Amino acid sequence: MRALRILLVDDHALVRSAVRQALTADDLEVVGEASSAEEALLVAPELRPDLILLDVDLPGTDGIRLVRELTPRLPDTRIVMLTVSTARRDLLEAVQAGAAGYLTKDLSPDALQRAVRGLRRGDLPMSRSMAAQVLEHLASSRAVAAHLSDGEWDLSAREEQVLRLLADGLTDREIGERLVISPRTVETHVGNLLRKLGVRNRAQAAQRYRSRIEGGDEAETAS
């Protein structure tokens, strides 16, 4: 079996050096490095590695947005986050963007090698607690979809996404970044949501959503 070809993307040279050293093995080969998302966008399509180990926090374009950019371009490449962040939001956004795993930098070299090798067996490179968070979120998302697709609200799939993020407290710009659409397009979706839900403002739409998911579906909210 040929060595697993790996690209490291991290803006800290010392971190890249430490990870490269940790992955020193006959069946693992670090074929390239990038210090920014922009550099990775140039290098990754040329190298076409089997695996990209990618930090969440990068200068300029962040790692999660980079996952969205690279996933459709490199369908045969697995992208796994390797970061100090244990934030639930980063975890869920990374998985939603297309990441195949989420590892933290406090792993020992042996644990990192096991996680990387496990990809070939179909293992999930992620701690049990993080995997549980992802499963919980997926189950919740299915429940949301069931509530919103019963015909009463008649929302499109994109409108459902915008409404959920709106209820999470995200701004138009943040929603646009999450869904890779412009803030103006987000405004259009929000306008359609207000009309379909029969509410006057975003706060009412968010409250209506939360009440619906909790089972109450109460339309009265504070304006």
Q: Which residues contact 221 (CB under 8 A, 6 or more apart)?
A: 199, 203, 204, 207, 208
179-184 contact pairs (CB < 8 A, 24+): 180/68
Spatial distance between the Cα atoms of 134 and 96, rounded to a whole number of angstroms = 10
Q: Are both 122 and 156 inside the same structural domain?
A: no
Domain check: are 102 and 183 in the same one? no
**Domain count of the fold of the chain:** 2
Question: Does an H or E element contain 54, and which?
Answer: strand 51-54
Residue 126 DSSP label: B
User: For residue 153, is it within any domain?
Assistant: yes
Which domain does 36 fall in, by range? Answer: 4-127
Do both 161 and 106 map to the same domain? no
Both 123 and 195 in one domain: the answer is: no
**Strand pairing partners for 53?**
8, 80
- 185 within some domain: yes
Ramachandran area for residue 60 (φ above 0: left; ψ -120 to 50: alpha; else beta):
left
| Confidence (pLDDT) at 217 | 45
Query: In this predicted structure, what is the pLDDT of residue 144?
Result: 52
41 domain residue, yes or no: yes
Other C-beta atoms lying within 10 Å of the C-beta of residue 161? 18
Q: What is the pTM of this model?
A: 0.67
Residue 64's nearest CA partner among 46, 79, 84 is 79
* Residue 134 forms part of a structural domain: no
Interatomic CA distance for residues 209 and 144, integer angstroms: 9
Residue 219: the pLDDT is 40
Q: Are residues 161 and 96 in the same domain?
A: no
What is the largest distance, in Å, between two alpha-carbon atoms of the chain? Answer: 64
CA atoms of 62 and 69, how far apart (whole Å): 11
Phi, psi of 107 (to 5 degrees): -65, 145
What pLDDT score does 223 carry? 39
Residue 188 lies in a domain: yes
The secondary structure of 64-103 as a DSSP string is HHHHHHHHHH-TT-EEEEEES---HHHHHHHHHHT-SEEE
27, 104: one domain: yes
Name beta bridge partners: 25.
28
The residue length of the chain stands at 223
Specify the pLDDT at position 148.
53
Query: Which pLDDT score is estimated for 222?
Result: 41
Task: Tell me: do 114 and 180 sit in the same domain.
Answer: no
Per-residue model confidence (pLDDT) at position 202: 84
- CATH number, domain of 185, equals 1.10.10.10
Q: Is the dihedral of CA 29, 31, 34, 37 positive or negative?
A: negative
- Return averaged pLDDT per consecutive 10 residues of the chain, 223 residues in all: 94 96 96 96 96 94 90 92 92 88 95 94 92 78 53 76 87 87 89 83 82 55 40
Task: Determine contact, residues 44/79, Cβ cutoff 8 Å.
Answer: no
pLDDT for res 216: 47
Please check whether residues 27 and 94 belong to one and the same domain. yes
DSSP reduced 3-state for 8 = strand
Q: How far apart are CA 31 and CA 117, in angstroms?
A: 16
